[in-house]
Amino acid sequence: MLGNIGMPEILVILLVVLLLFGAKRIPEIAGSMGKGITEFKRNMSDAQRAITEPSRTESQQLAADRNTEPVATRDEATVPEPKRLL
């Protein structure tokens, strides 16, 4: 049904929109729609980045944890190591 829209139908739709909203309001509506689309695209890319990025940061955190040595507490540092028999 929508595949049969021709030039006369589009002109009628544009005329109705112009009569409903007025000439001053149409650019404001179009600007708002443009900002909304831009915000939607930015949020989609942020969501995609949030999905893919934590796996990288978790692997980086694990690698950093492997490279650090445990810090001795005060009690462990003062206790002497036992003597070996052999």
Q: Are 26 and 17 in contact (CB under 8 A)?
A: yes
10-23 burial: b if 16+ Cβ within 10 Å, else e: eeeeeeeeeeeeee
Query: What tens digit of pLDDT does each residue of 21-44 get?
Result: 888 898 898 999 999 999 999 999
pLDDT band at 56 (very low <50, low <70, confident <90, very high): low
**0.85 exceeded by the pTM?**
no
CA 78, CA 67: separation in Å to the nearest integer? 25
For 20-46, the DSSP string reads HH-TTHHHHHHHHHHHHHHHHHHHHHH
pLDDT for position 73: 56
CA 44, CA 30: separation in Å to the nearest integer? 21
Report the range of poorest mean pLDDT among 39-43, 67-71, 77-81.
67-71
